[in-house]
Amino acid sequence: MQFAEIQEGDSRYIMHAYGRFPAALVKGKNATAWDTKGKKYIDFTSGIGVNCLGYSDPQWAAAVAAQAAQIQHLSNLYYSPVTVKAAKALCEAAGMQRVFFGNSGAEANECAIKIARKYSADKYGEGRSQVVTLQNSFHGRTVTTLAATGQRVFHEKFLPLTEGFAYAEPKMESVRGAVNAHTCAVLIELIQGEGGVHPMEKQFVQDLAAFCAQKDLLLLIDEVQTGIGRTGSFFCYQQYGITPDVVSAAKALGGGLPIGACLVGSKCAQVFAPGDHGSTFGGNPVVCAGALEVLSRVAQPAFLEDVRKKGAYLRSELEKLPNVESVRGLGMMLGAKPAAGEPGKIAAACVDAGLLVLTAKDVLRFLPPLTISKAEMDEGLAILRQVLQGFAG
Ligand SMILES: *Cc1c(COP(=O)(O)O)cnc(C)c1O
């Protein structure tokens, strides 16, 4: 298929929910992709933080293909060995007790919210169902996770949303003000990704954890973007020195296959009973085979050490680039604020020049595959330098 035909078919048959860059990617290897015209791109996005092992990692592809050829789906009415292996590896890496598998980040957060409400209803009865989230957060696109998302722009066209959400600033004073007798949980990201790559202050997070423990409010951490090695620890909360009650993960967990996971510690390990929650595809063997390969590599200390090293290198190189005002983030989740030029226009110019980058609010956002090579990073940085220079005032 020629590019023009692809673009026409996309426009004709796919709902116009996305703005796309003019490239159809058909092949990839680690952090390098090629389009229909054979043009090469260095990838600083990993498909919005998904392809943690890069494009089509051979071991990952072999594990997925082998499972597809063995048995691809069996419903949650039966036991699945590969699903158990993935669950065990994930719980051990997280220091959590149990997991529920779904298919996306939004679903993982829906599960977290249901757990919080049921925990509270079981223990305190009705009327304690409100969840406090943060302003500028992002938790998904379903009607309930939109309600959890503290950004009015996402709400406007879809009212009424699910009731029972209140929004606070990332300050204890503001959280205390939003919490009342009806509150059952607080849900936060440790680095607001879609909100512009804003890391939370360590003191705030630790104070929040102590406050939640004292009030028996569940602390729900959305690690959909920050999880699975992205920030240099397996989960970001491991760097913040806290233990959440519930953790959601998705994006990178399947290495490119759709999976979401909601993990719980001891407080919530018994909340769900048969019939309380479910998902047709949840824990699918093919997807779990991909996740197991991801977990067996990313959860290793040496792999995480490498992420921290590469993240530090990328950060220091970004700071040296022309037209970069500041860099923020952790590990390989970084945002660079340009001194001049709109992030969207700079990103489009990057794609044109052979570099895939993301944006979030006022920053260019970088989520490269965790396996990106030094040569690929340098090649991408050279393209970025050229493009940024062109936008300098
Ligand atoms: C991407 C993202 C989501 C939503 O994940 P989907 O898989 O698109 O539903 C939720 N929370 C955070 C922090 C995210 O980055």
Contact yes or no for 254/227 (Cβ under 8 A): no
pLDDT tier, 67 (very low <50, low <70, confident <90, very high otherwise) = very high
Same domain, residue pair 96 and 200 = yes
Q: What percent of the chain has pLDDT over 90?
A: 100
CA distance 327 to 313: 12
In the listed set 246, 280, 298, which residue is the last one of a domain according to the structure? Answer: 298
Looking at the domain assignment, is residue 383 inside a domain?
yes
Q: What is the pLDDT of residue 218?
A: 98
Looking at the domain assignment, is residue 62 inside a domain?
no
Q: Is 270 annotated as a binding residue?
A: no
Looking at the domain assignment, is residue 133 inside a domain?
yes
Tokens at 264, concatenated: 């719980």
Same domain, residue pair 253 and 128 = yes
Same domain, residue pair 109 and 208 = yes
Structural domains in the chain (count): 2
Q: Is 19 annotated as a binding residue?
A: no
Q: What are phi and psi of 199, to 5 degrees?
A: -70, 145
pLDDT at 173 over 90: yes
Given the CA of residue 225, which atom of ligand 1 is nearest to it?
15
**Residue-wise pLDDT tens digits, 302-329:** 999 999 999 999 999 999 999 999 999 9
Same domain, residue pair 146 and 92 = yes
pTM (two decimals)? 0.98
CA distance 146 to 313: 35
Looking at the domain assignment, is residue 63 inside a domain?
no
CA distance 52 to 251: 9
In one-letter notation, the amino acid at residue 67 is Q
Looking at the domain assignment, is residue 66 inside a domain?
no
Measure the CA angle with vertex 217, ends 216 and 222; round to 5°: 140
In the listed set 298, 322, 350, which residue is the last one of a domain according to the structure? Answer: 298
pLDDT at 271 over 90: yes
Same domain, residue pair 253 and 167 = yes
Using the mean position of ligand 1's atoms as its centre, give its distance from the Cα of residue 223 in Å: 9
Same domain, residue pair 109 and 154 = yes
Q: In this structure, which residue's CA is closest to atom 10 in ligand 1?
A: 139
Using the mean position of ligand 1's atoms as its centre, give its distance from the Cα of residue 172 in Å: 25
**Residue-wise pLDDT tens digits, 32-66:** 999 999 999 999 999 999 999 999 999 999 999 99
Q: What are phi and psi of 37, to 5 degrees?
A: -90, 5
pLDDT at 234 over 90: yes
Same domain, residue pair 293 and 306 = no
pLDDT at 98 over 90: yes
Same domain, residue pair 229 and 129 = yes
Query: Measuring CA to CA, how many Å separate 243 from each of 86, 135, 235?
Result: 21, 22, 11
Q: What is the pLDDT of residue 117?
A: 98
pLDDT at 346 over 90: yes
Same domain, residue pair 21 and 118 = no
pLDDT at 240 over 90: yes
Whether the CB of 189 sits within 6 Å of ligand 1: yes
For the chain, the C-alpha Rg in angstroms (whole number) is: 21
**Residue-wise pLDDT tens digits, 143-165:** 999 999 999 999 999 999 999 99
Reduced 3-state DSSP string for the chain: CCHHHHHHHHHHHCCCCCCCCCCCEEEEEECEEEECCCCEEEECCHHHHCCCCCECCHHHHHHHHHHHHHCCCCCCCCCCHHHHHHHHHHHHHHCCCEEEEECCHHHHHHHHHHHHHHHHHHHHCCCCCEEEEEECCCCCCCHHHHHHCECHHHHHHHCCCCCCEEEECCCHHHHHHHCCCCEEEEEECCEECCCCCEECCHHHHHHHHHHHHHHCCEEEEECCCCCCCCCCCCCCHHHHCCCCCEEEECHHHHCCCCCEEEEECHHHCCCCCCCCCCCCCCCCHHHHHHHHHHHHHHCCHHHHHHHHHHHHHHHHHHHHCCCEEEEEEECCEEEEEECCCCHHHHHHHHHHHCEECEEECCEEEECCCCCCCHHHHHHHHHHHHHHHHHHCC
Given the CA of residue 193, which atom of ligand 1 is nearest to it?
15
**Residue-wise pLDDT tens digits, 327-342:** 999 999 999 999 999 9
Looking at the domain assignment, is residue 214 inside a domain?
yes
Same domain, residue pair 258 and 328 = no
Given the CA of residue 251, which atom of ligand 1 is nearest to it?
7
**Residue-wise pLDDT tens digits, 110-137:** 999 999 999 999 999 999 999 999 999 9
Q: What is the pLDDT of residue 16?
A: 98
Q: Is 23 annotated as a binding residue?
A: no
Same domain, residue pair 117 and 158 = yes
Q: What is the pLDDT of residue 393?
A: 79
pLDDT tier, 180 (very low <50, low <70, confident <90, very high otherwise) = very high
**Residue-wise pLDDT tens digits, 188-233:** 999 999 999 999 999 999 999 999 999 999 999 999 999 999 999 9
Q: What is the pLDDT of residue 226?
A: 98
In the listed set 241, 263, 298, which residue is the last one of a domain according to the structure? Answer: 298
Using the mean position of ligand 1's atoms as its centre, give its distance from the Cα of residue 21 in Å: 21
Q: In this structure, what CATH number is given to the domain that contains residue 9?
A: 3.90.1150.10
Same domain, residue pair 129 and 91 = yes
**Average pLDDT of the residues of the chain:** 98
Looking at the domain assignment, is residue 92 inside a domain?
yes
What is the span of the domain harbouring residue 323? Answer: 3-56+301-390
Q: What is the pLDDT of residue 354?
A: 98
Q: In this structure, what CATH number is given to the domain that contains residue 279?
A: 3.40.640.10
Residue identified by tokens 């001891």 is: 266
pLDDT at 82 over 90: yes
Q: Which residues pair with 197 in a beta bridge?
A: none
Q: What is the pLDDT of residue 285?
A: 98
